[in-house]
Structure 1
Amino acid sequence: MSDLETLPGHLIRRLQQIAVALFSTRMGEADIDLTAVQFAALMTLRDHPGLDQQTLAGMIAYDRVTLGGVIDRLEQKDLVVRETSPTDRRARILNLTEEGRQTLDRAIPWVDRVQEEILAGLSDEEQAMFMTLLSKLTRAGNELSRAPLRGR
């Protein structure tokens, strides 16, 4: 039987738990009602306005069906609006509202702080190496995911 502390999958899951806890704590301190996935959706819509839900799901590596609930909640909070595509009446495109932009602007410094806290146990050199290796691993395993990352 393996020692859990030697299993990469276990340690990655633990780091994810830590990251989510930090994110939730910091958003609570800032009085911002956002989850990490909602933040990712808002950031991507800010950078790529007018995406459809399927494309957005691919760009943040999230299951398309589950993302529907995320978008529903963002729409209820008046952070995102769904509109009929001008080129395909069957498609719905997503855009940030002004409230969505303001919320995102308020959240970014707090999210930056979370990133610093996640990496705080590493030296600057170790942080750079960790990020390089983490990026390499996620790219290498992308197609193994239930929701692979897809470009636009």
Structure 2
Amino acid sequence: MPEPDDQRLYFLLQRAAHRLRTTADRRCLAAAGVTTAQLGALFAVRDEPGITQQRLARALGLRESAVTALVGRLTAAGLVSKSAHPREHRAVVLELTVPGADALRAAQPEIDRFNAELREVLGDDGFAGAATAMHRLAHWEP
């Protein structure tokens, strides 16, 4: 396979992201009934119980309006509960429900399988290097 032209890096990143997202979404929906975006939110709520929607938006790198819709879907599905913030009258806090924790457990084997497949495609060094590069790009402030 020929080496991709450096000029096409952005296009290739977009194409790879789309392929990875659609494949992972299909598998996570089949395994746990949730998308990868929903899983990201569930992991964040699990890792920081009582997280606010504003904090969740920052953690996920999304606009608050997008997180409002995402949280609406998660609460409607019974995966997350909302309650009034104890000190900020306009804020709500989010907690993972038992079904939300069950969804995370159900998705974990598929996440592990998916990562193992990526390691096979990229090799261990390539996987680690790609993870480091993607982390840098995700936090890059031009």
Common topology (TM > 0.5): yes
Counterpart amino acid of residue 22 in structure 2:
A
1:6 shift after superposition: 4.3
Q: Distance in 2 between matches of 1:130 and 1:43?
A: 22
1:26 alignment counterpart: 27
Structure 1 SS opposite 2:82: strand
1:147 alignment counterpart: none
C-alpha contact 1:19 1:118 (8 A) present in aligned 2: no
1:40 alignment counterpart: 40
Work out the number of aligned pairs and report it: 139
Counterpart amino acid of residue 17 in structure 1:
H
Counterpart amino acid of residue 87 in structure 2:
T
Counterpart amino acid of residue 55 in structure 1:
R
User: CA-atom RMSD, angstroms?
Assistant: 2.0
User: For residues 83-127 of structure 1, what are the alpha-carbon distances to aligned partners after superposition, in whole Å with 9 as ceiling and x for unaligned?
Assistant: 001222321111111111111111122122222333432121222
Task: With a CA cutoff of 8 Å and minimum separation of 6, indicate the structure with the bigger relative contact order.
Answer: 1
Q: Distance in 1 between matches of 2:85 and 2:53?
A: 12
* Higher fraction of helix: 2
Question: After TM superposition, which residue ranges in structure 1, 4 or more long, deviate above 6 angstroms?
Answer: none
Moved more, 49-58 or 131-140: 131-140
2:118 pairs with 1:118: yes
Q: Distance in 1 between matches of 2:41 and 2:6?
A: 33
Counterpart amino acid of residue 27 in structure 1:
C
Structure 2 SS opposite 1:127: helix
1:5 shift after superposition: 8.0
Q: Which runs of 5+ in 1 are unaligned?
A: 145-152
C-alpha contact 2:29 2:35 (8 A) present in aligned 1: no
Within-5 A mapping of 1:91-130: 91-130=91-130
2:74 pairs with 1:87: no
Counterpart amino acid of residue 100 in structure 1:
G
C-alpha contact 2:26 2:35 (8 A) present in aligned 1: no
Counterpart amino acid of residue 27 in structure 2:
R
Change in CA separation of 1:132 and 1:72 when aligned onto 2, cut-off 3 Å: same
Q: Distance in 1 between matches of 2:52 and 2:80?
A: 12
1:66 shift after superposition: 0.9
Counterpart amino acid of residue 133 in structure 2:
L
